[in-house]
Structure 1
Amino acid sequence: MAGGQGTTFGSARRRVSLPKAADLVADDLRREIASGTFADGELLPPGTVLLERYGISRPTLREALRVLASENLISLSARTQGARVTLPSTDVAANYAGVLMQLRGTTLLDLERTRAVIEPPAARLLAEADDREAALDKLRAALDTEKQAIASGDAVAAGRAALDFHDAVVELSGNVTLATTFALVQSVVQRHQDLRLSEGSDPSDHEAHLRNLGIANRAHAKLIRLIEAGDADGTEAHWRAHAEIVAEALVENDDARRIVDIV
């Protein structure tokens, strides 16, 4: 019986695709960049060094570098014939994530509820930190910027300033994973918000947006006071309640049901 199975298995001819040399070189260089061997803005070793290191042809090396350039990990310069490391920004990642969310029918309400999951624990980490004074200074500066933007009557600038305050809360928590994930979500929210409030939109939208931002600004000020007092429970509860108020307001807003539009 075993022989019969072997004959059956061997009779079916299959093609096995091996990785291309260029892909293997790109994989190795990508690991080097991700591990910090090459810093942002630094030139990769000259082509002659890379050719000798990998034992490949020049066309193969060019193909490997084009792969990395397409991923925004390096920039290629015809003038210097060099490859410079350009670490992708959150905006680049958010652009891809935003298009994917739009294709999958993500709504503004979905995003707001995601923010409500991430932000309260991050705010709690800030309140629990022993060395939170520097973080508080940055939050106060962000709050002042927000107040000034609201007072200017520029709804787009005020909206961005409010989002920046939320960004600061999560970023200053010290949790890199939370901050990176949140930055992706925030970037999509901001692009959607900017588009909705772009030139030609209904002026009443701007006025309502500014009123809501004024209410939010007071909630932001209270958050700072709770963090300053080291009230971790109060901080988390307040920030969760604030997020829920925003989400509840959106439920009554038809715009919340719209698919996020960033392109």
Structure 2
Amino acid sequence: MGQGQRRAGQAGLEPVRVPSAADEVADRLLTAIALGEFSVGERLPPERELAEQLGVSRPTVRIAVGRLREIGCLEVVRGRSGGHYVRTGWRAESADAVRRTLMPKWERVHTLQDTRCLIESLIARTAAERCGADEAADIRAALAAYESASEPAEVRSTSAGLHEAIARAAHNEPLAVYSRQLLQEITAGFPIEPYSGNLTERSLAEHRALAEAVLAGEAERAARIAREHFTITGENLRAILERSTAEPDSAS
């Protein structure tokens, strides 16, 4: 092959782009927002907390957050309640980010989702068997807070509060820790339950039924409800991944 041919062939090659840690964090943040783990108008956790949750450095988080700010996904608010706030939900860049974040680990996500349903079923069953007066009061208060919540961020936090109260009633901290770890690995790397407004009514009914079964000491019923209830997470993930594959690459 002549020198001119080599140059011509080399000119047709494109450099291979290796994603950086900041690229991955930006994708995870966009995916978390698409999933409803962070809602429009909600402030992101502090830089230090994001770095700890994702296992990266603070400078990496700073770069990733800056990229989301540049595309208009986040805005900076100054003052006492300042920070980075979510400005938009799903956007043109979301489909690519969701595919890059979820597709490579989808088989594992499916397996872990099944594991999580089994663990949550065990937690509910054990809580129904061990729930005392103090734990029962906590569960009732947590359910009332959840029922009165209206904004997505409040719905998510009070839902988590109810499940934490039920987990405490099981009197087995390792089970609760494993539950949080599974959620973090299944989603975009944050221990936050994805929120989908179209499943609000189903979630409300199942939360009530689960709390009632635990409080009544109905272990089998509590286990069954929990096992079915936590399939919602998998349904949310599947729906958002299907949406991402239905949309064209934003670079095309």
TM score, norm. by length of structure 2: 0.47
Rg bigger for which structure?
Answer: 1
